[in-house]
Structure 1
Amino acid sequence: MRTPLARLCGALLTLLLAVTVAACGGGGGTRASSSAAEGRLSIGAAAVPASLDPRKSAPYEALWVGLLYDALVTRTEDGSYQPGLAESWTFTPDGLELTLRTGVTFQDGAPFDAAAVKANLDYSTTHSANFSNQLTSLEAVEVVDPTHVRLRMSDSPAPMLGVLAGEAGMMISPAALSREDLSTNPAGTGAYTLDRFVGTELEFTAWDGYWNRAAVTLPGVDVTVLIDETARLRALRSGQMDAAFLTAEQVDEARTAGLQVTSSATADFWGVIVNIGQSEFADPRVRQAMMLGLDRPAIARNLFGDGCVPSAQPFRPDDWAYVPGLDDLPAAQYDPARARQLLAEAGLPNGFAFELQTGAMQSYVRTAEVLQAQWAEIGITVNLRPMENVQFVTARRNGEFEATVSVYQTARPDPSEFVKTFYVPGGLFNPSGYELPGLAELLVQSSSSPDLAVRTPPMHQIMTDVLNDGPPVMPICTRTTSYAYRDNVHGLSVAPLFDSNLSRVSVDPR
């Protein structure tokens, strides 16, 4: 069954936010025989995954996690939904009913069936996971028979297909749900097993027991993490790897060096989260002033070239949640004089100071430095704090920051989940409970139907109201992502919405 959505954007993978992990392990089951001579893909990544456990992984790590774990629903490149571990689905008056694929086993030999789905979803709703807020409307999971499971929900199930296409829908063997070692000893139904995860090196090999093995063309994936962006491209140019993630400013250099480049618009954006429980950010006039103090076109042009589209909203123009004309509103303009006036009205004629946390990667620090300079022009002093990824990610998730600049996803798993995460009390990136009157009601309306004609107007009203109020997350520009690769690689493309798409790549033996 396919439920069409508007075309959404691709995935940012050049800026994985992660921690350095020293570990090793295997995924179990029978591995396909392969070697470097048989065309494994060697790829240079930007950071070590925080975890390969879908319940603990960072959003940008879905490229690797999806090699090990299949989801109930598959999201296609145009943003529509197709069968995954669920062959079909039907919307019911109080939720969703799934018809499951038969003949599927987990890599530990356990059968995949309705009982396994119930065990996974029940576990996720009673234990903490990075996607817990995506399942708050799931009231009950009922096994109808081994191939049918019914999800009963308190709210409309419209966003649930997107949720089930992401980490929340990635099925883990029931016997492994309580294990803490899934990052190094996975137990999914995915196309690959994990051979090795040690420091900055990861190795995956195609699994002969995979239910759709005939569709997997790539025998293996070898990942080497090089946080230094210049070193990563240099390693690709020298032939040490087949492909690598690029920053926007490296695209021309890669092409000049004779490398192939593939790019896609991405469903995320550069932005700054301010913690309204700290500093002066609780006053809407301060947030409005900070928005007016951002010269987005200058930031995009000077830092990213054509690789980031300046915008005061988080969604791209080809997303149904994008609001036409929003960037023309007064609240979205670059207006330093009005910004200084608003600060004075807020009782801050001499401005104020705050700490801006940023990742240690070069592109992060450069972006933070430009923000520092622009806000200085309206009287705000920004003290930069570059942080290693483990500190950076942990502080953001725990709400231990005054402000933090990073890249944030918008349409994965669904725009409504973005709203819940950033603008609704209890959201993962809303540490001090930002709340806007009327927003919750609009969100219910936007989630009440799978019909985009129903969903779009209230979502557009949410985005307009948040902008005018002074958003707690301040968009700068929406991204384009690029990979460079050598001419022995075929079929490599940027993964839309961060979903894993490497299995159909092929690599000529070297």
Structure 2
Amino acid sequence: MFRSPARRRFRVAAVAAALAVALPLAACSAGNPSSGSGSSTSSTATDTLNLAIPPSALTLDPALMQPTVSRYIWGSIYESLAYWDPKTGAVTPWAAKKWTYSPDGKTLTIELRNGLTFSDGSAVHASDVAATINRSVNTAGYIQSIDTAVDSAEATNDKTVVVHFKNYDPKWVSLLGREAGVIAKASDLNSPDIATNPIGSGPYTLDTKATVAGTKYVLQKRKDYWDAKAFPFKTINITITNDPTAQLNAFKAGQVNATAVTAQQAAAAKAVSGATVTQTTASTMYWLLFLDKYGKSANPEFKDVRVRQAVNYALDREGIAKKLLQGYATPTDQVFFPSREVFDSKLEKVYAYNPAKAKKLLAAAGYPDGFTIEIPSSQATTQFEPTLSQELGAVGIKLKWVPIPESQTASIILTGQYQLYLKQSGIVSDPYTAALYFTPQGGTVNPEKYTDPTITDLYDKITTTVDTDKSLAIYKELNKYAVDQALAAPVTMTSGLWATSQGVTFVDRAGLPADIRQFGVAGK
């Protein structure tokens, strides 16, 4: 039997994967945001949050939004069907009162709560939700790429939406707390202004007069929002800057009262009177992707499992975490995060640092003298490049770092030009991690659409097992197979650091997507 989403074993975590700079962001909440559930925020709070974030793709068109830090903006303007519980990370109903899968997982029935309204004062209807989902499914963009299993959505009455799937998609419910779960007004979907000034359904509206696109966004709290007390800030000013030093200086000058900082900046941020620097739970993973496991390119080395294992043995993960990342990281051998349930502690240190063993594996694979491989270089990889070059070079794998434009960091690996890539990925739910990593729809996580009979068989079992208790064992088997076959070379799970001024709280408990709920008012 399918269990209530609030009790689902597979939990949802932060998605900050698209950051173009090395500023890992995680999230939290000042309390449970649901009304009547002991929220620690106050409905009478008139405080202002001044937040600095790096730039990311931003559009308010609900079909084109992406899971980046821009969610601080669009996630405040649009209502979401679900949210992530700040204590457990479980996906939890929000605008949706509840949802239920059919036994085969091909139908999901969503019931809306009462009192939902748009910023123009009109009521939110199930037909608005269905129209938003259908438009996203039929509009080319990021959401369409993750909605591949959705066939259509329909409103069966004013409060009930039924989503029809081509096949059971275990990751889809987790997306209800992200961009796939936003609610737009059906009549506004074709408006030419929807990308810049939509009719929102969330707790805030965009102050277009005070906003400077690409530089500063000003959000004003809606007094008529159904659970206004869950959001303590009356005004939110979001400043966009791609300069970590500028962000820190703005924080020190009191111009912003919340910003992410690097490990190198932590001491300076702590020195600000009344400031607090909070280390989040692991929010980002750095891992080396093998992009030619089929061996189709002119450099087919990574087709051989022994070469992939050699790369794993060549990495001094403990040293990278402690020395390079100053302890704000955790070494890992697997792509599932420890805060999620598929993670298996028995798989850690399978590839303990062993350069001698790496050399033997390379020799056995036919590369006693090693080989040279090109790898893209970007702002996010710079700090790792000397260490990776030294460690892999020591066993015979020489890295040639090739600078690429920052605008191409997400797309360059889709070209097939490179066979190795250092990727930065944010925490996601276990089902979503599996879908990205083990299916042809993996995009920039599995650009070559790699699979094999074992992966296909295990993932087929996952997509036909709606009961999450039963599917957990299958996910763990898939995880073990990935580690044994060295399908990637995870390096570290990295924590984020948030600096907040006196009176502003940031408490990471589970790791959440970028969301205004991360911030609260002290003592409320």
- Displacement of 1:162: 0.8
Stretch of structure 1 that moved more, 1-10 or 53-62? 1-10
Q: Which residue in 1 is equivalent to 2:256? A: 241
> Using the alignment, how far apart are the partners of 2:62 and 2:368 within structure 1?
47
Deviation at 1:308? Answer: 1.0
Q: Which amino acid aligns with 1:263?
A: Q
Q: Which residue matches 1:40?
A: 48
Q: Does 1:65 align with 2:74?
A: yes
1:298-354 residue CA offsets vs partner (Å, 9 max, x unmatched): 11111222311100112232310101211233xx22222222233333333332323
Task: Tell me by how many angstroms 1:228 deviates.
Answer: 2.9
1:130 to 122, 142, 157: 142
Q: Could you tell me which amino acid in structure 1 is paired with residue 181 of structure 2? A: G
Q: CA deviation at 1:13?
A: 5.6
Q: Which residue of 1 aligns with 2:285?
A: 269
Q: Which fold has the larger relative contact order, with Cα–Cα distance below 8 Å and residues 6 or more apart in sequence?
A: 2
What amino acid sits opposite 2:371 in the alignment?
Answer: F
Aligned to 2:180: 168
- Compared CA separation, residues 110 and 129, structure 1 to 2 (3 A): farther
1:152-202 alpha-carbon deviations (Å, 9 max, x no partner): 334446533212222111122324445676443344311122232423322
Partner AA of 1:59 in structure 2:
P
Are 2:46 and 2:234, in contact at CA under 8 Å, matched by a contact in 1?
yes
Superposed, which structure 2 residues align to 1:13-32 within 5 Å? 16-17=19-20
Secondary structure class of the residue paired with 1:354: strand
Report the Cα offset of residue 53 of structure 1: 4.1
Q: Shift of residue 291 of structure 1?
A: 1.7
Which moves more between the two structures, 74-83 or 341-350?
A: 341-350
Kept in 1, the 8 Å contact 2:126–2:160? The answer is: yes
Report what 1:29 is aligned to. Answer: none
Counterparts of 2:280 and 2:361 in 1: how far apart (Å)? 38
* Residue number in structure 1 paired with 2:313: 292
Secondary structure in 1 aligned to 2:79? coil
Q: Does residue 506 of the first structure (1) align with residue 521 of the second (2)? A: yes
Q: Does 1:309 align with 2:325?
A: no
Contact map agreement 1:158 1:448 (CA 8 A) in 2:
no
Query: Which of 398, 402, 409 is matched with 1:385 structurally?
Result: 402
Q: Which residue of 2 aligns with 1:76?
A: 85
Which residue of structure 1 lines up, in the alignment, with residue 470 of structure 2?
454
State the alpha-carbon separation in 2 of the partners of residues 38 and 90 from structure 1: 38
Q: Cα–Cα, structure 1 residues 266 and 400, in superposed 2: closer, same or farther, change >3 Å?
A: farther
Report the equivalent of 1:333: 352
In the TM superposition, 1:94-133 aligns within 5 A as 94=104, 95-107=107-119, 111-133=123-145
Q: 1:396 to 1:14 in 2, by over 3 A?
A: closer
Is the 2:281–2:510 Cα contact (8 Å) retained in structure 1? no
1:255 paired with 2:298, answer no
CA contact (8 A) 1:495 1:501 kept: no
Give me the TM-score of the superposition, normalised by structure 1. 0.84
- Report the more deviating stretch, 490-499 or 142-151: 490-499
Matched, 1:376 2:397: no
Aligned residue among 178, 194, 205 for 2:206:
194
TM, length-normalised to structure 2: 0.82
Shift of 1:38: 5.5
Match of 1:27 in 2: none
Partner of 1:445: 461
Aligned in 2, Cα 1:327/1:360: closer, same or farther, shift over 3 Å?
same
Quote the Cα distance in structure 1 between the aligned partners of 2:386 and 2:197: 40
Query: Is contact 2:203-2:221 (8 Å) kept?
Result: yes
**Matching residue of 2:102:** 92
| Residues 91, 452 of structure 1: alpha-carbon distance in 2 compared, 3 angstrom cutoff | closer
Q: Are the equivalent residues in 2 in contact too, given 1:269–1:475 (CA < 8 A)? A: yes
Q: Partners of 2:355 and 2:174 in 1: how far apart? A: 40
1:122: how far off?
1.9
Contact kept, 8 Å, 2:206 with 2:220, in 1: the verdict is yes
Structure 1 residue 379, shift from structure 2 partner: 1.6
Of residues 373, 398, 407 in structure 2, which corresponds to 1:354? 373
Cα contact 1:69–1:190 (8 A) shared by 2:
yes
% identical equivalent positions:
24
380-389 vs 368-377, greater mean Cα deviation: 380-389
Give the conservation status (yes or no) of the 8 Å contact 1:314–1:478: no
Length, aligned pairs only: 483
1:183-222 equivalences under 5 Å are 183-195=195-207, 196-222=211-237
CA spacing shift, 1:289–1:224, aligned 2, 3 Å: same
**CA deviation map 1:449-489 (0-9, x unaligned):** 56543122111111111122221x42111122221111132
Could you tell me how far apart the structure 2 residues matched to 1:236 and 1:206 are?
23
What letter is aligned with 2:6? T
Confirm or deny: 8 A CA contact 1:157 1:448 kept in the other structure.
Answer: no
Q: Which amino acid aligns with 2:67?
A: P
State the 1:218 CA deviation. Answer: 0.5
**Pairwise CA RMSD:** 3.1
Asked if the contact 1:14–1:481 (Cα under 8 Å) also holds between the matched residues in 2, the reply is no
Unaligned runs of 5+ in 2: 22-44
Quote the Cα distance in structure 2 between the aligned partners of 1:323 and 1:456. 11
Taking the aligned partners of 2:227 and 2:392, their CA distance within structure 1 comes to 53
| Alignment match, 2:423 | 406
The amino acid that maps onto 1:92 is: S
1:425 to 436, 440, 465: 440
Q: Tell me, what secondary structure is at the counterpart of 1:221?
A: strand
User: Does the Cα contact within 8 Å between 1:11 and 1:498 map onto a contact in 2?
Assistant: yes
What are structure 1's unaligned runs of at least 5 residues?
19-36
Q: How does 1:477-496 map to 2 (within 5 A)?
A: 477-490=492-505, 496=511
Q: Secondary structure at the match of 2:472?
A: helix
Match of 2:480 in 1: 464
Matches of 1:466 and 1:74, distance apart in 2: 30
The structure-2 alpha-carbon separation of the partners of 1:236 and 1:353, relative to structure 1 and needing over 3 Å to count, comes to same
Is residue 483–residue 494 contact of structure 1 (8 Å, CA) maintained in 2?
Answer: no
Q: Secondary structure at the match of 1:328?
A: coil
Greater CA drift, 301-310 or 176-185 = 176-185
